[in-house]
Structure 1
Amino acid sequence: MTAASAVSPHPPGACQASSGSRRRAWTVTVLLVLFMMVNFADKSVLGLAADEIRADLGLTATEFGLAGSAFFLLFSVAAVLVGFAADRLSPKLLILVMAVAWSVAQVPAAAGGGLAVLVASRVALGAAEGPAFPLSQQATLAWFPDHRRNLPGALITLGVTLGVIVSAPGLSWVIQHHGWRAALWVLAAAGLVWTLAWAVLGADGRHRTAAAGRTHPAEPRRAAVPYRKIFTSPTWIGATLAYFTSYWTVALMLTWLPSYLRNALGYSAHTAGTVVVVPWAIGAVALLAQAGLTGRLMRRGAGSRRARGWVGGWLLTLGAASCLALPLVDGTAEKTVLIALGFGFGGSYATVAATTVAELAPPTRDGGALGAMNAVVTAAGLAAPAVVGALVDAQGSGGYQSAVLLAGALLAVGAAASFVLIDPARDTARLAR
């Protein structure tokens, strides 16, 4: 043994501690992927049961659209409040409370009642789930340094996609054989089971700043800056605008895509429950490809403007082109392919937005920065279902195609914002002045 090898640069047990920390980091990440899966299964059930709910409660398309929008009434407010709270309180505790609240929120509509009960239940559910994505990203990314955050950030977003892919066929079967209220009971039970697992295995990450101002040694210390400087930076504005247009597409998939497949393209309820997962599956592939490409570019020294802003911009561009091409084809199969590509690529921007803002904001401000972004973004969920409902009532089945074209135009705007405005390195330097 040489003298150099005899003196270890690490204290005894450091390797074991590091290994244990990595295992805990990935355990938490897996749990939060499941968290987002349950979250988006909760969101998707209304769209999967749209025709059954409308028939059962006697709703017009506009009324159903308003019920879908009700989910987002307090969604944004809750995202902001909990986002700021997460800069001071334990994300583990906040997530635990949220999971219990959203499981209980399913019960009133599952137990019975009409439109008023459904709307009230969805409002409560939205308030409980509003902070889920930014808080999950914050809680996960806190376990990893910046250069290793692309994969775990993508996996959390992948949970969104997997939640729909895994749950849609099963929930469709439950809805067809046992009714839409039974599906709500299933989701409430799934939420409570996850809550028990999180209470035992969940934990806060070591790469976050505690209220006392301590930072992990591996993270560079950054001074606190006013939120207004973050919110007025081109990078935050660009990421938020691009993500808003992407979330508009997500809201359409959740609330109206199953009805579009059934009422405009002629699919049966069973087939629509299967076809509806295709754009989500395309989005999953896009997410993983984006994470791999972004990570590769950053390892090669590319800045986040290219690695995140430009890569995200191309995703939205592909989504916009596919949606806007819809009137150019006539066949059901061709329309289905374009919708799947448009919604799949267009709806896959979330990881780009979250990792960009997490890089931009100092550790003491990332919860508020992510929460405020999510609040603005999810306003798309409040508007999109109501807009589509009005289009369908006004234009019949043609209203669905008008909704896709509107989504394509918005995605084109979002792509431009991602290409032009996002530059975290530039804006981080400005925040430090």
Structure 2
Amino acid sequence: MTVTTASGSGSGKDPAAAPAAPNTTDFEATPGRFGGVGPLGESRLTAWSLTSLLVSLYVINYADKAVLGIIAKPLREELGLSASQIGLVGSLFFLTFTIGGFFAGLLNKWMTLRWSLVILGLCWAAAMLPMIVVASLAVLLISRLFLGLAEGPSSALLHTAAYAWHPPARRALPGALLAGSASISKIAIAPLLTLITVSFGWRWALFALAAAGLVWAVVWLSTWRPGPYIASGKAKATDTVDAEPATPWVKIFLAPTFITGALLVMSVYALVSVVLTWLPSYFEDGLGYSQLQSGSMFAFPSIVGLALMLLSSVTSDRMITRGASPRVLRVVVPSVGVLFSGVLLFLLPSIGTPIVCVLILSIGYGFAAMVFPLLNAAVAEICPPRQTAGTLGVFLAIMAIGGLVAPYATGVIVDAAATPAEGYATAFQVLGLVASVCAVLALIFANPVRDRARLRPHRVAVEG
């Protein structure tokens, strides 16, 4: 018995009697990854240009998150804050970030991606300004809560916008570029923000981020247009995309791939949130590096993470188009990477040499980060295209729960430890252990091919 993708419209008629629809997983019509014309006639140059614009917004998104870690020490000194208070601010950001993620599907329904993303981007810019005018713990809390709420829906909407320009089997690379925005931000933007903070003060770092958001909004409004592969709000895509009947949301959210995938990315995102909030402080207070060195070294884990995300995603796309197993490439490979990361992080407290600690943390972070683009692509495949934004919105909102808990817990551990170095190392050890358990669950239960066939029967024809 052979299972193949069908071109039926989902109307209940015999697929063989229906007109052949474009096969969005067929890439023979595409002369090159970055040039030529795709299966639905779209310009690949346009697709990648607009994907780059989305990546640039995500870079700003992560810079807005990371700036708290960069300015944490001067902020603590000026306002007289404890490590636990900074950790609480970081965790409360992820509270509203998690809540905001559940609104991605509604925003995608109410308005086009063009307007929803520009409104969100302008809100991020506005969130940077209150602390410049009035610096206090209360203002810091309110501005970060607002920023979290505005950033919550962005990941799902950005992925939906990018997937709209790329067929399903080649979504790992654009997904990797989006997930790699965190790395790009820490490699290219974090050192610059650190230099601004050291040279001019932390307020100027916030002002620079607000200005970047405004510039992006102008460019976005003048260039964006919707892609052909996913319908978004009032800007509907092709009839082929819209023809498939909707799958009940509860079935999508109870799929084993969705549940175990969400647990895995949540555990890894806990590590990401701690890195964003605490890594410069760990390098400075825990390992003895200077503030400028710590801000520059902030990029080390991200360099490893970006390289591994791009390598695994390009390999995944290429092998899937040649018939390799999506489960192996988009579930097994990243889960094994998380297991390896967990082992490295578990060893961190036993390491006494600072540069070795930096190396272990960087490699561990890099192998864990592979999970984001690959699992995002896997989860997006189990639902009909028009439900992508809503599915990813809930998936990524659950992911953000890791960021809700981990930064505050790390602050508590550091305050209670004998030394900062011991506290940070213990926190990373716990993160590695939790992520390893979640990786084992994903290895056992997650299977996007199985869940896609069960949840989207209109796309499957059985030939006996």
Please indicate, yes or no, whether the TM-score normalized by the shorter chain is above 0.5.
yes
For residues 407 and 194 of structure 1, the distance between their equivalents in structure 2, rounded to whole angstroms, comes to 35
The answer to whether structure 1 residue 305 and structure 2 residue 308 are counterparts is: no
Q: Is the 8 A contact 2:231 2:242 kept in 1?
A: no
The 5 A counterparts of 1:197-276 are: 197-209=219-231, 216=238, 221-276=243-298
**Equivalent in the alignment of 1:170:** 192
2:414 to 392, 416, 420: 392
1:49 is paired with a residue of what secondary structure?
helix
Q: Which amino acid aligns with 1:168?
A: A
The residue number in structure 1 matching 2:440 is 416
Shift of 1:218: 6.2
1:403 aligns with 2:427: yes
Q: 1:167 Cα shift?
A: 0.9
Q: CA deviation at 1:57?
A: 0.7
Number of aligned pairs? 421
Does the 8 A contact of 2:98 with 2:400 survive in 1? yes
Question: How far apart are the structure 2 equivalents of 1:345 and 1:113?
Answer: 38
What SS is found at the alignment partner of 1:410? helix
CA gap 1:213/1:430 in 2 versus in 1, 3 angstroms: farther
| 1:179-236 Cα distance to aligned partner (Å, 9 max, x none) | 1111100100011111111111112221113568965366594320111000000011
Residues 230 and 237 in structure 2, CA contact (< 8 A), matched pair in contact too: yes
Counterpart of 1:424 in structure 2: which amino acid? P
Is structure 2 residue 131 aligned with structure 1 residue 109? yes
CA contact (8 A) 1:246 1:347 kept: yes
- Determine the structure 2 residue equivalent to 1:76: 98
Alpha carbons of structure 1 residues 393 and 214: separation in structure 2 relative to 1, 3 Å: closer
Q: Deviations over 1:335-357 (max 9, x none)?
A: 11111111222233211121111
Letter in 2 for 1:205: G
Change (3 A) 1:275 1:211: closer
**Secondary structure, in 3 states, of the residue corresponding to 1:364?**
helix
Q: Is the 8 A contact 2:104 2:156 kept in 1?
A: no
Match of 2:68 in 1: 46
Counterpart contact for 1:40–1:163, Cα < 8 Å = yes
Distance in 2, matches of 1:111 and 1:42, equals 17
CA distance in 2, matches of 1:376, 1:55: 34
Aligned residues of 1:356 and 1:424 also touching (Cα < 8 A) = yes
Q: Which blocks of at least 5 consecutive residues in structure 2 are unaligned? A: 1-28, 30-35, 458-464
Following superposition, the deviation at residue 86 of structure 1 comes to: 1.3
Q: Does 1:327 align with 2:349?
A: yes
After superposition, where does 1:110-149 map in structure 2 within 5 Å?
110-149=132-171
Q: 1:211 to 1:258 in 2, by over 3 A?
A: closer
Instruction: Provide the C-alpha distance between the structure 2 equivalents of 1:79 and 1:380, rounded to a whole number of angstroms.
Output: 13
Contact 1:91 1:139 in 2 (8 A): yes
Computed over aligned residues only, the root mean square deviation of the Cα atoms, in angstroms, reads 2.1
Within a 5 Å distance, the mapping from 1:372-383 to structure 2 comes to 372-383=394-405
Measured after TM superposition, the shift of residue 314 of structure 1 is 1.9
In the other structure, the counterpart of 1:430 is 454
> What residue number does 1:3 align with?
none
Q: TM-score, normalised by structure 1?
A: 0.92
Q: Is the 8 A contact 1:313 1:418 kept in 2?
A: yes
- Structure-2 change in CA distance of 1:75 and 1:214 (3 Å): closer
Contact 1:246–1:348 (8 Å) recurs in 2: no
Amino acid of the residue matched to residue 188 of structure 1?
Answer: A
Asked whether 1:157 is paired with 2:167, we answer: no
Q: Which residue of 2 aligns with 1:369?
A: 391
Equivalent residues of 1:242, 1:411 under 8 A apart: yes
The equivalent residue for 2:205 is: 183
Q: Percent identity?
A: 34
Letter in 2 for 1:426: R
Match of 2:379 in 1: 357
1:280-301 per-residue CA deviation (whole Å, 9 max, x = no partner) reads: 0000011011102212331231
Contact persistence 2:108–2:233 (CA under 8 A): no
Of 85, 88, 91, which residue of structure 1 is paired with 2:107? Answer: 85
